[in-house]
Structure 1
Amino acid sequence: MNKLMALVALSTLAVSPALAADGAKLYTEKTCSACHGPAGNKTLMPDYPKIAGQNAKYLEKQMLDIKSGARANGNSAAMKGVMPLVSDAEITAIAEYLSKLKP
């Protein structure tokens, strides 16, 4: 069982840099930077969230909830039109990327 856990840990480490690189590209391509700023810490509007450095699972959950309609409060309406264009795998990559940025 320890070998299996080690393999899982190694595979996670091997994938993370690729996800982060894809996440950076996706963050720009999916227009996230238009509202959240190029580095996720300088927003278009004062009440938009600064997302740089946030927990990856938190970011992923928020994006998935906006996409599904489970979250429809506050400024989530601004993202509602974009989220159908972002796959779940892309959401994960963007969240991982953002979690590694400095707030």
Structure 2
Amino acid sequence: MDETRTKILGRALLTVGLVLGPVTASLAADGAELYRAKICHTCHGERPNEPVLPAYPKLSGQNAGYLFQQMKDIRDGNRTNGLSVAMKAVVGSVTDEEFQVIANWLATQ
């Protein structure tokens, strides 16, 4: 998905969250806030293009669909390579909607 489509999708998700209210509040959440609240920054860096260790991937500018699928696969146990085992404990409670908001934000960084 190109950057323009990612931005449009992000805005659409934000609009849906605002319209539907508390039931879909995570859709309206700011990606940067979720990135911090879900403690992504502890490994991937305050700025997601500067991870705290070279072994951790840089997330800025990655394709939103790719990021979403990778996070979901780690949470669901479908990806177990590399540092996925350590990350699984961190992302266990993150919803698909929250993953999408984070992925959309990361794609624009």
| TM superposition score category, shorter chain reference | 0.7 to 0.9
Matching residue within 61, 64, 69 for 1:56: 64
Q: Equivalent of 1:39, from 47, 51, 59? A: 47
What is the RMSD of the two structures over their aligned residues, measured on CA atoms? 2.1
Corresponding residue number in structure 2 for 1:4: none
Instruction: Output the TM-score relative to the length of structure 1.
Output: 0.79
Deviations 1:18-64 (A, max 9, x none): 66862111000000011001120111221110000000000001001
- Runs (4+) off by over 4 Å: 11-14, 16-21
Q: Secondary structure of 2:30's match? A: helix
**Aligned partners of 1:51, 1:14: CA distance in 2, in Å?**
20
Distance 1:13 1:36, change over 3 A: closer
Q: Is the 8 A contact 1:21 1:97 kept in 2?
A: no
Aligned partner of 1:15 among 6, 12, 15: 12
Partner of 2:80: 72
Structure 1: gaps (5+ residues): 1-10
TM-score by length of 2: 0.75
Task: Output the amino acid matched with 2:12.
Answer: V
Shift of 1:17: 5.8
The count of residues paired between Structure 1 and Structure 2 equals: 91
> Does residue 27 of the first structure (1) align with residue 35 of the second (2)?
yes
Quick one: structure 1 residues 70 and 17, their matched pair in 2 at CA, closer, same or farther if it must change by over 3 Å? same
Bigger Rg over Cα: 1
Q: Percent identity?
A: 47
CA offset at residue 15 of structure 1?
A: 2.2
Unaligned runs of 5+ in 2: 1-7, 16-26
